[in-house]
Chains A and B, each alone.
Chain A
Amino acid sequence: MNIDFTPEDEAFRDEVRGFIAANLPRECADSPALGVMTDKSVVKRWHKTLYEKGWAAPAWPEEYGGTGWNATQRFIFNEEIARANAPRLMPFGLTMVGPVIYTFGNAEQKSRHLQGILSGDVWWCQGYSEPGAGSDLASLKTTAARDGDHYVVNGQKIWTSYAHEADWIFCLVRTEQSARRQEGISFLLIDMRTPGVEVRPIISIAGLHHLNEVFFTDVKVPVQNLIGEENKGWTYAKYLLVHERTSIGGVPESKKKAAHIRAIARAERNADGGALMDDPAFQRKLAEIEVRLTSLEYMNLRILADAAAGKAVGPQSSLLKIVGSEVQQALGELAVEAVGYYIEPVGQGALPGGANARGIGPAHAWNVWADYGYGRAASIYGGSNEIQHDVIAKAILNL
């Protein structure tokens, strides 16, 4: 174990920091602090900037456009991104379907899709959950029936984040009724503009529109859009879920949040008129969460190092998911405590569609509530924490 940064590492850090400072547009740097939802145009712009530099997908293999950085460099990169408060790139392409395509897709699929994901020009969404298939994902009912060189897809997905902004959806569909429910599922890529695809909004607890229902009525999907083998989709889906859970630890996001809370605490007064940051009770709470965040970060690094050394990331990702979501939620609660009364007013800030509009009271309070409300979902999406506890009990502890 060696945790010192080498002079090369430090030089790399300077390079990353310099690039971000020179290229992150001001409104980009501002927006994540204000809203849980960053405008699509803002994210796209930043994505494009990183892409042009060749830094959009550090985790990808070099042959598909990755950076070839080692784990330390990736760590430094993430740290600098968080420090600069840069917006999070959409995960659905870069960390979800992208790796599935370059791992299980054929040559034609790679050449067709990876480029758009890398450049950020094509946006994806994830069509796994259904009304009857949440935690029990394998019970999904959306069907794809083979008809010549097409599948005909019928059914419904739900909770599909950003489906209303996506160009493509990757879907789990049933291609065969079989005794074992995990068999007979296939992994299909569907163009959102195909006739018969309909998106309906779901308004969230925070009053925002990011969730949707997606309906499929006799949607014709070319067989070329099938990933890997028919009826083997569950394998690919599970690979993706593990990937999703590694990033679901959300370390960079939580670091940003912690920094935001420190800024709030310097600006806010406590009951006696002193800076909240000087209040020992507040300091202790913040310190406790930062300790949890730090241990999460190191656990994440260790798992990434294992992965880099070729070891499969297995059920450990469930630990990341649990700790990561708990830290995120604890930060959300502390931010609420820090802004006090100003959690109450919601301006345009938390109204549908206007996530980044101006609110009432100090700017640092504007989206704290929306963020807190949305944060409650962290223990649900990507497989609920109860399910993750089951995974740990079974797969790690053999209970």
Chain B
Amino acid sequence: MEFALSEEQRLLQDSVRRFLEQNAPLDKVRLAAGNTHTVQRSLWAGASELGIPGMLIPEDFGGMGLGFLDAAIVYEMFGRYVAPLPFLGTAVMAPLALMLAGSEAQQEKWLPKIAAGEIIAGVAVTESIGVREGAGVKAGKGTLTGKALFVVDWAEADLYIVADSDHGFHLVLPDAKGLSRRALNTIDKTRSVGELVFDQVAAEPLPRSSADAVARVIDAGRVMLAADTLGAGQMMIEKAVAYAGERKQFGRVIGSFQAVKHLCAEMAAALEPSRSLVWYAAHALDEVPDDARLMACHAKSHLSEVGRFVARTATEVHGGMGFTDLLGLHYWFKRIGFDRQLLGGPELVRLEAARLQGWAA
């Protein structure tokens, strides 16, 4: 047993780090945040050169054939740089749905396009987790009717993968007749979500759909969100430590006050151990199917709590500065807040974990 990243994984993470450091600095993020529902094409093209959209897609379909642990460490970097890119739906949840439930023809048609970074794929699964405002999608004969909220990677999607209320996945084209789309502005301006309303919209079912396939897509999404929070939290700690080393009050840097030191140390003590949980949860998706769902729940709920703690503590260290747009700290604060609620908040996910273990009815 070796509980560590491989050399290849470290290289992969480093290359993504360098790419985002150079191509997605804060001023770019600010610009993108002003256009949440516009895909950052040149940035996505750069990510595509690194193979990111196709990282989970088998090599036969033009992808890299990597695993979820690889995807998690990449998304951790996306969180670190609050990257305004459609990774969660397009590079993880949509390809996984196609691989698990699609026909060969569907896979051959769509996976290479995703892998090449040519298309954006939005994913609608919220109602499989919990139904709000009577939303939910019903499948009829080749059509869908109903409403899906919080569709991931909603903006400029070339394809939507929609879960109906009977665990069926469907492919829907954005220009399909009877489909109306509404952007949702959320706290997190670095990722696009939206609503889809279906009125007898032509849809192509994924023939191998099952409750398990839908659940596995959600599991993977949850682990990715945990990884995103991990990266965002790590950056917030680094920013707080850097600020504590620069900001002077009472004639000394505030980092010299034990109260501030301890705020920083508490963040590190909370976040660093959770890194192992995220890695294991991602590894379990790849290799330990019996553990995968429970670990996805644990990673999602735990990182949500740790992330909130880190976000508020890093803000505290920044004093008044933490409340402003001046340093942009709030992009990380909000990214972590968004990760917490998407695909199930920690309260709901913990209940699910209790049920998986037979503790709750």
Please determine whether chains A and B interact with each other in the same assembly. yes
Give min CB distance, B354 to chain A, whole Å: 10
Q: A337 in the interface, Cβ–Cβ < 8 Å? A: yes
Contact across chains for A380 and B316 when beta carbons are under 8 A apart: yes
Contact across chains for A202 and B322 when beta carbons are under 8 A apart: no
**B316: which A residues are within 8 A, CB to CB?**
376, 379-380, 384-386
Which of A132, A333, A346, A377 is the one whose CB lies under 8 Å from B323?
Answer: A377
In the assembled complex, the Cα of A292 lies from the Cα of B269 at a distance in Å of 27
Q: B90 in the interface, Cβ–Cβ < 8 Å? A: no
**A360: which B residues are within 8 A, CB to CB?**
184-185
In the assembled complex, the Cα of A373 lies from the Cα of B311 at a distance in Å of 11
In the assembled complex, the Cα of A384 lies from the Cα of B193 at a distance in Å of 36
Contact across chains for A205 and B330 when beta carbons are under 8 A apart: yes
Contact across chains for B149 and A341 when beta carbons are under 8 A apart: yes
Contact across chains for A271 and B322 when beta carbons are under 8 A apart: no
Q: A303 in the interface, Cβ–Cβ < 8 Å? A: no
In the assembled complex, the Cα of A159 lies from the Cα of B244 at a distance in Å of 19
Contact across chains for B186 and A380 when beta carbons are under 8 A apart: no
Contact across chains for B185 and A134 when beta carbons are under 8 A apart: no
Which of B312, B320, B352 is the one whose CB lies under 8 Å from A159?
Answer: B320
Contact across chains for B319 and A134 when beta carbons are under 8 A apart: yes
**B263: which A residues are within 8 A, CB to CB?**
386
Contact with B along A369-392 (1 / 0, CB 8 A): 100011011011100111001100
Contact across chains for B319 and A380 when beta carbons are under 8 A apart: yes
Give min CB distance, B167 to chain A, whole Å: 18
Contact with B along A74-114 (1 / 0, CB 8 A): 00000000000000000000000000000000000000000
Q: B242 in the interface, Cβ–Cβ < 8 Å? A: no
Contact across chains for A129 and B320 when beta carbons are under 8 A apart: yes
Contact across chains for B259 and A389 when beta carbons are under 8 A apart: yes
**B188: which A residues are within 8 A, CB to CB?**
344
Which chain A residues numbered 310 to 340 have a C-beta less than 8 Å away from chain B? Answer: 329, 333, 336-337, 340
Contact across chains for B193 and A341 when beta carbons are under 8 A apart: no
Contact across chains for B323 and A205 when beta carbons are under 8 A apart: yes
Q: B12 in the interface, Cβ–Cβ < 8 Å? A: no
Which of A205, A336, A347 is the one whose CB lies under 8 Å from B333?
Answer: A205
Which of A345, A374, A384 is the one whose CB lies under 8 Å from B186?
Answer: A345
Contact across chains for B320 and A271 when beta carbons are under 8 A apart: no
Q: B308 in the interface, Cβ–Cβ < 8 Å? A: yes
Contact across chains for A376 and B320 when beta carbons are under 8 A apart: no
In the assembled complex, the Cα of A109 lies from the Cα of B323 at a distance in Å of 35
Give min CB distance, A379 to chain B, whole Å: 6
Contact across chains for B322 and A344 when beta carbons are under 8 A apart: no
In the assembled complex, the Cα of A271 lies from the Cα of B250 at a distance in Å of 50
Contact across chains for A271 and B348 when beta carbons are under 8 A apart: yes
Our count of residue pairs bridging A and B at CB distance below 8 angstroms stands at 115
Q: A226 in the interface, Cβ–Cβ < 8 Å? A: no
Q: B351 in the interface, Cβ–Cβ < 8 Å? A: yes
Chain A: number of interface residues, binned into ranges: 35 or more
Give min CB distance, B173 to chain A, whole Å: 25
Give min CB distance, A196 to chain B, whole Å: 24
Q: B6 in the interface, Cβ–Cβ < 8 Å? A: no
Contact across chains for A344 and B186 when beta carbons are under 8 A apart: yes
Contact across chains for A281 and B319 when beta carbons are under 8 A apart: no
Contact with A along B325-361 (1 / 0, CB 8 A): 1100110010001100110010110011000000000
Give min CB distance, A130 to chain B, whole Å: 11
Contact across chains for B187 and A376 when beta carbons are under 8 A apart: no
Contact across chains for B319 and A202 when beta carbons are under 8 A apart: no
Contact across chains for B325 and A376 when beta carbons are under 8 A apart: no
Contact across chains for A341 and B257 when beta carbons are under 8 A apart: no
**B329: which A residues are within 8 A, CB to CB?**
205
Which of A139, A159, A340, A385 is the one whose CB lies under 8 Å from B345?
Answer: A340
Q: Indicate the member of A158, A384, A390 with the most B CB atoms within 10 Å.
A: A384
Contact across chains for B345 and A211 when beta carbons are under 8 A apart: no
**B330: which A residues are within 8 A, CB to CB?**
205, 373
Contact with A along B226-247 (1 / 0, CB 8 A): 0000000000000000000000
Which chain A residues numbered 195 to 217 have a C-beta less than 8 Å away from chain B? Answer: 202-205, 211
In the assembled complex, the Cα of A285 lies from the Cα of B329 at a distance in Å of 29
Which of B132, B133, B185, B260 is the one whose CB lies under 8 Å from A386?
Answer: B260
Who on chain B is nearest to A272 by CB?
Answer: B351
Q: Indicate the member of B126, B185, B320 with the most A CB atoms within 10 Å.
A: B320
Contact across chains for B323 and A271 when beta carbons are under 8 A apart: no
**A343: which B residues are within 8 A, CB to CB?**
187, 337, 341
**B312: which A residues are within 8 A, CB to CB?**
329, 376
**A271: which B residues are within 8 A, CB to CB?**
130, 347-348, 351-352
**B323: which A residues are within 8 A, CB to CB?**
204-205, 211, 373-374, 376-377, 380
**B348: which A residues are within 8 A, CB to CB?**
271, 340
Q: Which residues of A contact B (CB under 8 A)?
A: 129, 132, 134-136, 139, 158-159, 202-205, 211, 271, 281-282, 329, 333, 336-337, 340-347, 350, 360-362, 369, 373-374, 376-377, 379-381, 384-386, 389-390
Mind listing 6 A-B residue pairs with CB under 8 Å?
A: A135-B319, A205-B325, A211-B323, A346-B185, A362-B133, A389-B259
Q: Which residues of B contact A (CB under 8 A)?
A: 126, 130, 132-133, 149-150, 184-188, 193, 248-251, 254, 257, 259-260, 263, 308, 312, 315-316, 319-320, 322-326, 329-330, 333, 337-338, 341-342, 345, 347-348, 351-352
In order of increasing CB-CB distance, the 6 nearest A-B pairs are: A136-B249, A344-B186, A386-B259, A205-B330, A159-B320, A136-B250
